Amino acid sequence: MEFLDLPPLALAAGTVRLPGSKSISNRCLLLAALASGVAEIRDLLDSDDTRVMLAALQVLGVTVEPLGGSAWRITGAGGVFPVKAADLFLGNAGTAFRPMTAALALSGGRYRLAGVPRMHERPIGDLVDGLRQIGADVRYTGQEGYPPLEIGPADIRLDGPIRVRGDVSSQFLTALLMALPLTGREAVVEMTTELISKPYIEITLNLMARFGVAVDREGWARFRIPASAGYRSPGTLHVEGDASSASYFLAAGAIAGGPVRVEGVGRASIQGDVAFADALAALGARVEMGENWIAAGAPESGRLRAFDLDLNHIPDAAMTLAVCALFADGPCALRNIASWRVKETDRIAAMAAELRKLGAQVEEGADFLKIAPPAALRPGAAIATYDDHRMAMCFSLAALGGVPVRILDPGCVGKTFPEYFDHFLQVTAPVVAIDGPSASGKGTVAVRVAQALGFHFLDSGALYRLTTLAALKAGVDLADEAAVAAVAAALPAEFPGDRILLSGEDVTDAIRTEEVSAGASRVAALPAVRAALLDRQRAYRRPPGLVADGRDMASVVFPEAPVKVFLTASAEARAERRHKQLIGKGMPANIHALLQDLRERDARDAARSVAPLRQCDDAERVDTTDMGIEEAVSAVLDIVRRKLPKQ
């Protein structure tokens, strides 16, 4: 895809389950590969950078097996890599390139390491200097100080401290620390400069300790790796959610109402980027944090406060703050961010250029950015992303200023977060889930609410009815779960205007017959059919929002819906309504029989094991027993406006 056009967005609310942390995923993979024993890594990030690492480990003779979902089993080499000669391509993954360089330099083989052209512009000299001090044979095959590299067997000497710079990238120190236990001997690393991005070193030390090697450190100046028998697998490891990826959603909540809740990182996190939450709080956002989640909402005043912050400790998440500056109440400054210049792109220059397209005044320094937000964002900016996933994710937030934004080359988010835009559009396209017992009037109310809000509308019951009709037409036995599920998965249905088409044929009335109703109720009880319709239902969620009508909208299909309504009425009132409806259509009806029928159906619906009728804990109840349609619609709209104040 060349570009992605984001529509003007007004609010962000909901819950996002984060993908695994890139930093933790790639460190765990390498440590597990070097360790003795078998490690099972759960919730591993699936993205370009982790695939690069997994592929490299396989080339190097490590057994990596997918266990399904995001779990992997790594059988450790119990020391250096078994394959002694290999050519590796490591893309633009710094978290793979740097640590792999150090580990291979101590592996006693001959290796060549290369990456994409940008990787060859990212410095690695400080790491190579450190490795050469202990007798490693690492040579530059292109430009001095940069990849590609050629590595030969080392003649390891550990007679004094290894002295390295820490002011360009903390990954050089991470790489050395992770590789040194391969020597089995005690080693000392001393910093010759200030160390930047310290929280990333904490992640490294923390994970090394999980694999049995405890490093002593004196402040951030000196690190002692003890003599050891090397790494030992801790068994099973869970990768936390990615705290840098969390920053976009938290910022969305802080900019546009919220709350947006991210799950997978929280107080218990070992990632420094959770401190982004503190930065957001300093901007006035309402921030809450649990062990494993963080939520952020807009300040009481509605607008974020201007800021002037040293962001050396959160270099990646700091990019998100640069975009938050567009929504601040005055000029902002981001300081001590020189490392941005050697990341996926020169992020200081890239950020300045793209913020200007939105109307901001930006001053760019060697290690700072000053950003004065415009009175209103300039609509229709085409944002270049520089093959940098974070540029693409950051600038999606600009659409929350109520302007359309074009993101060029949106696929670059695949580096760390392939599903990013789906999640972003989910939290920015709110869902109003409406459920209730049969004959509660929810269908009529839901359509009217969708019209009033200008939202899309999902009549999920119609999908079960359509599946039934399509199955009947095809001669499929409704009890044949797999066959009906196949029909559901391939349903050729369209919904132009008020009409419903199946293979181009108008079936708006045909799906309401008694035969189809009875069939739909059987078909809806088949789990495989429900599963087959799940993605189709979720695809209805698009900006500016969705009203979703049906049994499991609030519980299964859109559990994160910011508005959940349970529309109900006494059985007597519902029987009376149905009676009126049937009489109106000139059909025979008996109110006592209808009441009896409804009561039995309620009981059946509530008792069934698949998608039972039940009010979700977080759903608001609207009892329409004494209401007309207009009143019921107003009552639901009141709830929507309370929960989504900007609609």
What is the set of active-site residues? 316
Residue (393 or 462) nearer to ligand DC, CB: 462
Q: How far apart are CA 471 and CA 356, in angstroms?
A: 56
CA distances from 546 to 154, 438, 551, 554 (A): 61, 21, 15, 12
Residue (264 or 461) nearer to ligand DC, CB: 461
SS3 at position 288 = strand
Q: How far apart are CA 224 and CA 34, in angstroms?
A: 19
In whole angstroms, the minimum distance from the beta carbon of 564 to ligand DC comes to: 13
Taking residue 514's Cβ as centre, other Cβ atoms within 10 Å add up to 7
Inter-residue contact 481 to 529 (CB < 8 Å): yes
User: Footprint of ligand DC on residues 258-287 (CB under 6 A)?
Assistant: none
Told to check if 555 binds ligand DC by CB under 6 A, we report no
Residue (175 or 511) nearer to ligand DC, CB: 511
Q: Which two structure tokens, joined as six digits, stand for 376?
A: 């209103």
Inter-residue contact 507 to 469 (CB < 8 Å): yes
Q: Which two structure tokens, joined as six digits, stand for 156?
A: 């390891």
The verdict on whether omega for the bond into residue 544 sits within 30 degrees of 0, i.e. cis, is yes
Q: How far apart are CA 272 and CA 266, in angstroms?
A: 11
Residue (233 or 521) nearer to ligand DC, CB: 521
Q: Give the number of C-alpha atoms closer than 13 A to the C-alpha of residue 44, restricted to the C-beta side.
A: 32
Residue (70 or 444) nearer to ligand DC, CB: 444
In whole angstroms, the minimum distance from the beta carbon of 526 to ligand DC comes to: 10
SS3 at position 644 = coil
Q: How far apart are CA 407 and CA 384, in angstroms?
A: 7
Residue (46 or 459) nearer to ligand DC, CB: 459
User: Footprint of ligand DC on residues 506-535 (CB under 6 A)?
Assistant: 520-521, 524
In whole angstroms, the minimum distance from the beta carbon of 247 to ligand DC comes to: 34
**Of 540, 550, 574, 636, the one binding ligand DC by CB under 6 A:** 550
User: Shortest CA distance to 464 belongs to which of 505, 513, 508, 521?
Assistant: 521
In whole angstroms, the minimum distance from the beta carbon of 548 to ligand DC comes to: 8
The verdict on whether omega for the bond into residue 259 sits within 30 degrees of 0, i.e. cis, is yes
User: Footprint of ligand DC on residues 609-628 (CB under 6 A)?
Assistant: 611
Inter-residue contact 344 to 271 (CB < 8 Å): no
In whole angstroms, the minimum distance from the beta carbon of 57 to ligand DC comes to: 44
Amino acid at 198: K
User: Shortest CA distance to 345 belongs to which of 391, 407, 410, 398?
Assistant: 391
Q: How far apart are CA 416 and CA 413, in angstroms?
A: 6
In whole angstroms, the minimum distance from the beta carbon of 499 to ligand DC comes to: 16
Residue-by-residue DSSP string for 233-279: --SEEEPPBPHHHHHHHHHHHHHSEEEEEEES-STT---GGGGHHHH
Residue nearest to ligand DC (CB): 461
Q: Which stretch binds ligand DC (CB under 6 A): 271-279, 333-341, 412-420, 549-557?
A: 549-557
Q: How deeply is 575 buried, as exposed, middle or buried, from its count of CB atoms within 10 A (0-12, 13-18, 19+)?
A: buried
Binding flags for ligand DC, 445-474, as an x/- string (CB under 6 A): ---------------xxx-xx---------
Residue (195 or 524) nearer to ligand DC, CB: 524
In whole angstroms, the minimum distance from the beta carbon of 267 to ligand DC comes to: 36
Residue (43 or 552) nearer to ligand DC, CB: 552
CA distances from 439 to 508, 555, 609 (A): 19, 20, 21
In whole angstroms, the minimum distance from the beta carbon of 324 to ligand DC comes to: 38
How many residues bind ligand DC (CB under 6 A)? The answer is 12
Residue (440 or 647) nearer to ligand DC, CB: 440
| Bridge partners (DSSP) listed for residue 56 | none
Residue (416 or 460) nearer to ligand DC, CB: 460
Backbone angles phi, psi at 286, to 5 degrees: -85, 115
Which stretch of DSSP H or E encloses residue 371?
A: strand 368-372
Q: Which two structure tokens, joined as six digits, stand for 107?
A: 């592996």
In whole angstroms, the minimum distance from the beta carbon of 263 to ligand DC comes to: 24
Binding flags for ligand DC, 24-63, as an x/- string (CB under 6 A): ----------------------------------------
**Of 551, 564, 574, 643, the one binding ligand DC by CB under 6 A:** 551
Amino acid at 455: F
- Between helix 460-473 and helix 514-523 the angle, nearest 10°, is 100
In whole angstroms, the minimum distance from the beta carbon of 465 to ligand DC comes to: 5
Give the footprint of ligand DC on this chain (CB under 6 A): 460-462, 464-465, 520-521, 524, 550-552, 611
